[in-house]
């Protein structure tokens, strides 16, 4: 079965909704959430929900966060401030998360410590540089968030998510 498209061309009708500041050359916008399933072992399956960061999708977050093992905040250094709300969301709900700085052509690269400071991340929050188009890079991010969730669960002896 062919996957559904969750990206569509930007139109004039979406101008009031889609903020293109910092990404003026962007030609598409997210119109739905993504879903995936990865079987790591016969007894270990990850269900992945890609929730867009735009405000119009925030109503989904509370439902999807219930029972979540962890989360990935995908950061774009051209608009790093867009990550503040997601970081705050997962911190407040005590859901383990990893920040993955996605590399975009033409985007300025910053040292990890600079991004960590800009997002005011706690030292134990993993921060990785990734390319969301590269399978092995995405795998590394998923491994990092699972390891972080397991370490935190073992350290606090609490459930992984609330």
pLDDT of residue 161: 56
- From CA 81, how far away is CA 86, in angstroms rounded? 10
What sign has the CA pseudo-torsion 152, 63, 61, 36? positive
H or E segment at 73? strand 71-76
In Å, the largest CA–CA distance within the chain is 51
pLDDT band at 45 (very low <50, low <70, confident <90, very high): confident
Q: Is 97 left (phi over 0), alpha (psi -120 to 50) or beta?
A: beta
**Do residues 50 and 88 touch, judged by C-beta distance below 8 A?**
no
Pair of tokens at residue 70:
């962890």
**CB-based burial, 67-90: b 16+ in 10 Å, e otherwise:** ebbbbbbbbbbbebebbeebbebb
The more confident residue out of 30 and 85 is 85
**Do residues 87 and 97 touch, judged by C-beta distance below 8 A?**
yes
pLDDT > 60? residue 162: no
DSSP state of 96: -
3-state SS, one letter per residue, for 143-156: HHHHHHHHHHHHHH
pLDDT tens readout for residues 51-78: 876 777 788 888 888 888 899 999 988 8
pLDDT of residue 9: 73
pLDDT of residue 70: 94
Pair of tokens at residue 107:
């985007």
């Amino acid at each position: 079965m062919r996957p559904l498209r969750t990206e569509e061309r930007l139109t004039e009708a979406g101008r009031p909704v889609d903020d293109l500041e910092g990404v003026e050359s962007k030609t598409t916008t997210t119109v739905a959430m993504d879903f995936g399933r990865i079987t790591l072992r016969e007894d270990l399956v990850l269900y992945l929900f890609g929730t867009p960061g735009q405000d119009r999708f925030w109503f989904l977050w509370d439902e999807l966060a219930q029972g979540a093992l962890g989360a990935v905040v995908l950061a774009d250094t051209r608009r790093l401030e867009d990550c503040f709300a997601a970081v705050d969301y997962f911190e407040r709900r005590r859901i383990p998360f990893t920040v993955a700085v996605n590399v975009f052509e033409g985007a300025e690269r910053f040292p990890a410590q600079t991004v960590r400071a800009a997002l005011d991340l706690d030292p134990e929050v993993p921060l990785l540089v990734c390319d969301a188009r590269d399978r092995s890079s995405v795998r590394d991010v998923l491994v990092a968030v699972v390891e972080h969730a397991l370490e935190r669960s073992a350290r606090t002896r609490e459930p992984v998510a609330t």
